[in-house]
Amino acid sequence: MTPVFDYRALRLLMGIIAVALPIVVSAISTTALSSISASYHTESRDFFVGLLFVVAALLWAYNGHAPAESRWSKTASVAAIAVALLPTACDTCPTTAVSVTHYVAAGVLFSILAYFCFVYFRMKTKGMPGKKGRRSKIYFVCGLIMVACMLAALVANFALPPETLKALRVTYWAEAIALGAFGLGWIVAGKYIPWLIDREEALHLFRA
């Protein structure tokens, strides 16, 4: 029987959106973004908020294979909505409780998504030979990249002068790379890439 809803398709779509988000908002914005969240204050606001709401909906719908996985996914969903609706600080709008909440929500969202790569995606692939083992290593590397990017952005925001931070767009690139790693992890977990999956576990988007 063909399933009504396939979690692998959800993972694949989530990954594609994550990879596309920084590209889309940067392409639409007429100014260089200091962070992806800064697109809220530019012409790309609707795309930023809209794509995050899609991510939030997918995370809410995702239950995974364990009750704890479902709870973490729904927590990440709420965090994604907070990131979308509570704007970050900008040149003309000072740091407030709203922007601080935005930063906390973004940290929670990225942390949970990295945790998925480290733990849940590797539950059935860790230490396995062949393609499953290959996927496990990719998940782990994606999680490491996400954590490294979060730490790099945090350190840079404390260590570098605001002018340098803005000129180098450190936060933007850290977020973009982290989203790329997150997206890659979820795309691989969608089991659609032929050289990373066995035939019996492959996702078939279009069935006869």
C-alpha span between 145 and 154 (Å, rounded):
14
How many structural domains comprise the chain? 1
Whether 1 maps to a domain, the answer reads no
**Residue at 69 is within a domain:** yes
DSSP per-residue codes, 18-71: HHHHHHHHHHH-SS--SSSGGGGGSTTHHHHHHHHHHHHHHHHH--TTSHHHHH
28 with 47: CB under 8 angstroms?
A: yes
**Assigned domain for 208 exists:** no
pLDDT average, residue stretch 19-42: 91
Lowest mean pLDDT among 24-33, 85-94, 113-122: 85-94
**Are 181 and 142 a contacting pair, CB within 8 Å?**
yes
**Burial (Cβ within 10 Å: 0-12, 13-18, ≥19) of residue 99:** middle
Name the more confident of 32 and 53. Answer: 53
Name the residue among 176, 154, 151, 189 with its Cα closest to residue 73. Answer: 189
Q: Is the pLDDT of residue 25 over 60?
A: yes
Query: How many angstroms separate the Cα of 182 from the Cα of each of 29, 31, 95?
Result: 23, 25, 28
Only one residue has tokens 């850290």, namely: 174
> Is residue 94 exposed (0-12), middle (13-18) or buried (19+ Cβ within 10 Å)?
exposed
pLDDT, one tens digit per residue, over 58-80 is 999 988 888 899 999 999 999 99
Is 201 a residue whose pLDDT tops 70?
Answer: no
Percent of the residues in the chain that have a pLDDT greater than 70, as a whole number = 90
CB 132, CB 124: distance < 8 Å: yes
pTM: 0.87
Residue 205 banded pLDDT, cuts 50, 70, 90 = low
Q: What's the chain's average pLDDT?
A: 87
**What is the residue-wise DSSP string for 135-146?**
HHHHHHHHHHHH
Question: In which domain, by residue range, is 129 found?
Answer: 7-201
In a domain, 2, yes or no: no
Condensed to tens digits (0 to 9), the pLDDT of residues 36-51 reads: 998 988 899 999 999 9
* Domain-located, residue 58: yes
81 or 128, higher pLDDT: 81
How many Å apart are CA 19 and CA 135, to the nearest integer?
Answer: 18
Reported as half-sphere exposure (CB side, CA atoms, 13 A), residue 137 has a value of 9
Determine, yes or no, domain membership for 136. Answer: yes
Give the CA distances from residue 49 to residues 37, 69, 87, in Å, rounded to whole numbers and listed in that order: 9, 25, 10
Q: Which residues contact 59 (CB under 8 A, 6 or more apart)?
A: 14, 73, 74, 76, 77, 80
The confidence band for 53, taking pLDDT boundaries of 50, 70 and 90, is very high
User: Does any domain span residue 185?
Assistant: yes
109 and 76 in contact (C-beta within 8 Å)? yes
